[in-house]
């Protein structure tokens, strides 16, 4: 390694040692937590701004628990 560093005129002591970063979970989509009862294609993970149909559902006096997917982790 010190021979390689000599090629760039950089003293080996000035090079930072490698850092072990925690692994990052990649891939996959978030699990669906809420689903529209009349239109199964309309779903929400519970993250971020709720879609219009969820907002309308709540404003009509209904509970999110009514449309929660059984077993979904929130």
> How does residue 5 score in pLDDT terms, banded at 50, 70 and 90?
low
Q: What is the CATH number of domain 30-74?
A: 4.10.430
Residue 31 has pLDDT above 80, yes or no: yes
Domain spans, the chain:
30-74
Q: Which of the 8 DSSP states describes residue 35?
A: E
2 or 28, which is more confident? 28
Pull the structure tokens for residue 45. 């993970």
pLDDT tens digits, residue range 34-61? 999 999 899 999 999 999 999 999 999 9
pTM attached to this predicted model: 0.61
Q: For residues 1 and 6, what is the distance between their CA atoms, to the nearest angstrom? A: 9
20 or 70, which is more confident? 70
Q: Give the list of residues 6+ apart from residue 53 with CB closer than 8 angstroms, or none.
A: 36, 42
Q: For residues 14 and 24, what is the distance between their CA atoms, to the nearest angstrom? A: 28
């Amino acid at each position: 390694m010190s021979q390689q560093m000599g090629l760039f005129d950089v003293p080996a002591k000035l090079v930072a040692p490698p850092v072990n970063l925690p692994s990052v979970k990649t891939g996959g989509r978030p699990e669906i937590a809420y689903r529209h009862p009349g239109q199964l294609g309309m779903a929400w993970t519970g993250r971020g701004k709720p879609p219009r149909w969820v907002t309308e559902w709540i404003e009509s006096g209904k509970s999110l628990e009514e449309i929660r997917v059984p077993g979904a982790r929130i």
